[in-house]
Amino acid sequence: MSTELKININEEKEKAQKLIEKQGRRIHVCASTGCVANGALELIEEFKKLGADAQALTNEVKMSVIPTGCIGFCEQGCLVVIPDKKLTYVHVKKEDVKEIYDSLLNDTVVERLLYVDPALNKKIVNNEEMNFYAKQTRTAMKNCGIINPESLDEALSVGAYSALSKVLEINDPEYVIKEIEESGLRGRGGGGFATGKKWRSVYQHRGGKSYVICNGDEGDPGAFMDRSVMEDDPHKLLEGMAIAAFAVGADEAYIYVRAEYPLAIKRLRKAIADAEARGFLGNNIMGSNFNLKINIREGAGAFVCGESSALIASIEGERGMPRPKNIHMAECGLFKRPTLLNNVETFANVPLIILNGAKWFASMGTDTSKGTKTFALTGEVNNTGLIEVPMNTTLRQIVFDLGGGIRNGKKFKAVQIGGPSGGCLTQEHLDMPMDYDQLTKVGAMVGSGGLVVMNEDTCIVEVARFFMNFTKNESCGKCVPCREGTKNMLAILEKIVRGEGEMEDLDRLEELAQVVKQGSLCGLGKSAPNPVLSTLKYFRDEYIAHIKDKKCPAGVCTALKKYRIKEELCKGCTKCARNCPVGAISGNVKEAHKIDTSKCIKCGACKENCPFKAIVVE
Amino acid sequence: MTDKKTLFINDTEVEFTDEKTVLEVAKKAGIEIPTFCYRPDLTQFGACRMCVVEVEGRGIQASCTMPPRAGIKIYTNNNKVRKIRKAILELLLAHHDRECTTCSKSGSCELQKYSMEYGITDIPYVKMKQEEFSPIDASSPSIVRDMNKCILCGACVRACSEFQGIGVLGFSERGSLTKVQPMAGKPLKDVNCVNCGQCVSVCPTGALTIKSDIDNVYDLLNDKEVKTIVQIAPSVRVALGEMFNLPSGENTIKKIYSACRKLGFDLIFDTNFSADLTIMEEASEFVERLTKGENLPIFTSCCPAWVRYMELNHPDMLNHLSSAKSPQGMLSPIAKEIAPKFYEGFNKENIKVISIMPCTAKKYEAKRDELKGETDYVLTTYEFAKMIKQQGIDFNNIDEQEADSPFGQYSGGGTIFGASGGVAEAALRTAYNIVTGKNLENLDVMPLRGVDKASRSKEAAVDINGQTVKIRVVSTLAEAERAIKEVKEGKADFQMLEVMACPGGCINGGGQPSACKDLKTKENRAQGLYKEDRELKIRNCHENPDIIRLYSEFLEKPGSHKAHELLHTTYSNKSQKIKV
């Protein structure tokens, strides 16, 4: 059964490594979307001007600047990493380049650009001591930020296409599917369906034309791990897809990427072309009988197109609306053919599972959730960015170790996980592992992996309103519960936030949430009420405070804010009255002033300008 | 042998065989599940969620898309299900122009019906405000679009693209802003709509309605200077009764004549008479083309939606269309030019012709430049039924009367025009006679009959004097387009193509009472027509004595100069570039 391939992957890898060696000392500059926005491309030019140019490397210098993919620590960009010295420089500006360059020549360290650990209040000289990195286990994102994503040689030097080569040599789909089944890998797009099981059911319908689709329509607000894989290690995704296509018997694949990811599209296009030119994709891959054509389809930015049936409709050229799923996609999917659909991160896990074996992968995580998961850590933590951790990592470890705790010494309140389809986790869940089943049990979900950390200043009702507004806008408009239900749920939340809520509104909100959850056609609608339901479950008091006491405990909801002058502190300086744009403040000089709340527009000008801190918000 | 399996509906064991959905199984078991977007003739959509049921172990599921499986337990009406349906109705009504009393769909609106059944008395959600209302699009001669009543079930969108392959209607925007609109938000008259009215037929609410000519007709009826002549199309007679709770397919033509007299029409003609006349002209034209080998295959021309489709999309093939006018188009000039010779006080100037049609496109046909001034107003079956009700006529107990001679007598060939395949069958009967001088031995051309989905394209081959003549019959323009493609590619082996735009033909026209929820209705109506054909003494158009007399006294012979003047028309390139 095994086949001898015409391309020897080990030789290719060695050749590539030799090319890398010639580059001398590598200076990694993160050239991903976030850092580019902060001016990373200028840094690279500056390094090149100084002589760190791989193309024109002089013997005396022996340094090359490498534009890498995302290192994950976006909060601290631009980032410059010197891998052989284990140094990371943060917030680097164009002006700092010369100093870094010189320090490398003199073998010194630019102290002022080092990262300061907020918990230890200590400058970190060695990467490995950075909690943000040290506590991560990178599988899907292993090469992200380490290689130049636009170079096939760089990818080959770290082992790209070795797993595909192994699979093609063994030449047995059953072997691949078994490995994936035994690894315990589950879909990383949100649902958490067993990947091996999915592959097997598509495999069972092989014979005619089959398709593999990669869902790269990452749309959760704040989530960008799939973008990172596509931008920073495109060959890993292509390799994972090729292995999947081989396993299920497909010869054509699509990557559905949202058009808002132009860099990902550009890099994927280049990667496909490069891989085809070198025989890693296309016809007779590496000299085997296996052919695979990978196409890219750009989505127009509809959130719902991340839903499998809507995504398929979109690829087929129809309006991106979900379809009823009576027949499984494994039998009748894209163009009515058997289709395997997985998300970017799922495919990115595949090559290492094949290379290191199912056991290695299954050794990480919990009983039912194996391996690692990427998360986009955002919100009120010190370290925001992209992380990848084993699935048994607890929320506490993520927030307090990797995330470096809550910003400005504030108190932790909750985490919104899984974006607009997910739910919130609170203090009581801090020691829970990020495991599919446990999260589902408490009304949340892994989702694609968005983690928004909230502190005591966050209004939970406002958070629910924010996500509801998102799903209301992103509903495709097809089924009634989602289209009309989300609109009316939002209307109720807006009413509560405006301070006009009544207690019956809570009942109505919950009833409607059930209708939307149970009655909707697709996953978007079925999960749209989750943020409301889980916040109602854990923070009902806060809703009630908005309704009964007409107060926003976090002091966020403008309509519920009340400005008051503390008589005992007011000196009657009249400054507040003079600054009030609507003339709502009255009082005689040197006497305590008063705010007419019926006139007050809650702009806060009085509070900002009071020299005696006599004005408070209630 | 089909497999017999069972499942449980509301704890009762129910048998099922080849039903595709739980909804169908329930229906067979006598349980009606409410639906808006489910239309058995269209693809499954699963959008309205009214048909939700609870499936043990699988929660809430839409029964219109869920395939039945042996052993599953389904609850169609428990409290959970009922609450969801109620919420759906409330949500829909909140975003709906609820001026039911002034809605032309009132009484036959499905949203209204279910709201009543589910006892919706209050709408606890944010209601659509007057300033959010969209303007009504009444630009089309046939169809009125009122998007304030649209519940986005998508039936019209599917009908337009699946039946007709035109797709002038589509969804735009998303979420709660989603709406259905003609391409690029244009008024309906400015897009390639063929006015077939299938969108109206499948619309559950008052969002798409027939443009009413009722008031115009009343004005004529009340004008003492005007003489009104009414004509009734074949398929009206087998569908009108449904509006009065009579079974579908029951032939009520004699009651219709009577109702027309009660409404005050001065003369009652029957379009079936002119259907016979159409066959005389069309069959002769067919035989002539066959002999000369010119412009074959001949395309029938009685369906105005199809004619417009050709003019919009295939102007290079207009030579294939028969130049014979439609039966409506023929009877109107006869009524104005020839009828005055038979009736005192009638003259070309004071006659107004009103036709009662199963069809919204006929309203457009009457307004065609080529036919202007001939048919004054077109009433659809639906509008005519309304007039009968308005006038307090007890239709079910009315006496039976006859049409006015000599423009009321018809053959079986004329009556079967209403079902897809009927025109071709009647034409074949007469063409055979023209060529051979004999009648077909068996007048029933069975391969050309049938109005279900599988019969949207059918063929028959007949030997006429040693020459095999092949006839293709299609209904729906999507099917017509396939036939045209064959003609264009030179692959067509048929000499005649009958096209009806509506699935199943005129019996399922856009102006008929809607038959979209029950496939049997179409079938029954077609059977009603074939029954009359069987029972009529005269079954061949060319044997209608009044037709023979019309030719001998006025028109000489089919295809004569005089016949051409009155009974034939022209077509022109009407293709338009729609500016976005």
Is B46 within 8 Å of chain A by CB? yes
Whole-number pLDDT of residue A57: 61
**Tokens found for residue A576:** 């507040």
What CATH number does domain A561-617 carry, 3.30.70.20, 3.40.630.10, 3.20.20.80, 3.40.50.2300?
3.30.70.20
Predicted TM-score (pTM) of the model is: 0.91
Spans of all domains in chain A: 23-127, 152-362, 372-455, 460-547, 561-617
Average pLDDT over residues A185-191: 89
Give yes or no for residue A390 having a pLDDT over 70.
Answer: yes
Our CA angle for A387, A73, A306, nearest 5°, is 55
* pLDDT tens profile A448-461: 788 999 999 999 99
Q: Are A2 and A169 in contact (CB under 8 A)?
A: yes
Average pLDDT over residues B452-468: 94
Could you name the CATH architecture of A152-362? 3-Layer(aba) Sandwich (3.40)
Whole-number pLDDT of residue B391: 95
Whole-number pLDDT of residue A473: 94
Please, what is the average pLDDT of chain A? Answer: 92
Residue B59: its chain A contacts at CB < 8 A? 518
What CATH number does domain A23-127 carry, 2.170.190.11, 3.30.230.10, 3.40.30.10, 3.30.420.40?
3.40.30.10
For domain B215-567, give the fold: Fe-only Hydrogenase (Larger Subunit); Chain L, domain 3 (3.40.950)
Average pLDDT over residues A541-551: 95
Spans of all domains in chain B: 5-77, 88-210, 215-567
Give yes or no for residue A465 having a pLDDT over 70.
Answer: yes
* pLDDT tens profile B289-314: 999 999 999 999 999 999 999 999 99
Average pLDDT over residues B32-40: 96
Average pLDDT over residues B254-259: 98
Give yes or no for residue B486 having a pLDDT over 50.
Answer: yes
Whole-number pLDDT of residue A264: 95
Average pLDDT over residues B440-469: 95
Nearest CA in chain B to A321: B174
Give yes or no for residue A389 having a pLDDT over 50.
Answer: yes
* pLDDT tens profile B390-416: 999 999 999 999 999 999 999 999 999
Say how far apart CA A90 and CA A383 lie, in whole Å. Answer: 12
Give yes or no for residue B490 having a pLDDT over 60.
Answer: yes
**Long-range interactions of A45-50: CB distance < 8 A, separation 24+:** A46/A94, A46/A97, A46/A98, A47/A97, A47/A101, A50/A97, A50/A98, A50/A101
Give yes or no for residue A118 having a pLDDT over 80.
Answer: no
Give yes or no for residue B372 having a pLDDT over 80.
Answer: yes
Helix (H) or strand (E) holding A252: strand A252-258
**Tokens found for residue A275:** 């891989």
Whole-number pLDDT of residue A62: 82
Shortest Cα–Cα distance, A598 to chain B (Å): 27
Q: Residue A479: which of B49, B174, B177 has the nearest Cβ?
A: B49
Give yes or no for residue A120 having a pLDDT over 80.
Answer: no
Number of CB atoms found within 10 A of residue B172's CB: 15
Give the side-chain half-sphere CA count within 13 A for B512.
Answer: 31
**Domain at B88-210, CATH class:** alpha beta
* Nearest Cα residue to B571 out of B389, B299, B168, B353: B299
What residues of B are annotated to the active site? Answer: 282, 285, 302, 322, 362, 365, 370, 506
Helices (H), A184-299: 195-204, 225-232, 234-248, 262-277
Quote the ipTM score.
0.90
* pLDDT tens profile B536-566: 999 999 999 999 999 999 999 999 999 999 9
Q: Residue B44: which of A324, A478, A518 has the nearest Cβ?
A: A324
Whole-number pLDDT of residue A72: 79
* Nearest Cα residue to A471 out of A516, A501, A506: A516
Whole-number pLDDT of residue B351: 97
Question: Which band of pLDDT confidence, cut at 50, 70 and 90, is reported for residue A186?
Answer: very high
* pLDDT tens profile B309-344: 999 999 999 999 999 999 999 999 999 999 999 999
Q: Residue B87: which of A487, A515, A521 has the nearest Cβ?
A: A515
Give yes or no for residue A61 having a pLDDT over 80.
Answer: no
* pLDDT tens profile A330-341: 999 999 999 999
Q: Between chain A and chain B, how many beta carbons pairs sit less than 8 Å apart?
A: 106
The proportion of chain B whose per-residue pLDDT surpasses 70, expressed as a percent, equals 99
The proportion of chain A whose per-residue pLDDT surpasses 90, expressed as a percent, equals 76
* pLDDT tens profile B468-481: 999 999 999 999 99
Residue B46: its chain A contacts at CB < 8 A? 323-324, 479, 521
Number of CB atoms found within 10 A of residue B58's CB: 12
What dotted CATH number matches A460-547? 1.20.1440.230
* Nearest Cα residue to A139 out of A348, A344, A342: A348
Q: Do A479 and B46 touch (CB under 8 A)?
A: yes
What CATH number does domain A372-455 carry, 3.40.50.2000, 3.30.365.10, 3.10.20.600, 3.40.50.1000?
3.10.20.600
* Nearest Cα residue to B261 out of B228, B286, B288, B308: B228
Residue B88: its chain A contacts at CB < 8 A? 480-481, 515, 519
Whole-number pLDDT of residue A50: 87
Shortest Cα–Cα distance, A146 to chain B (Å): 41
Question: Which band of pLDDT confidence, cut at 50, 70 and 90, is reported for residue B1?
Answer: very low
What dotted CATH number matches B5-77? 3.10.20.740
Q: Residue A483: which of B124, B170, B176 has the nearest Cβ?
A: B176
Give yes or no for residue A421 having a pLDDT over 90.
Answer: no
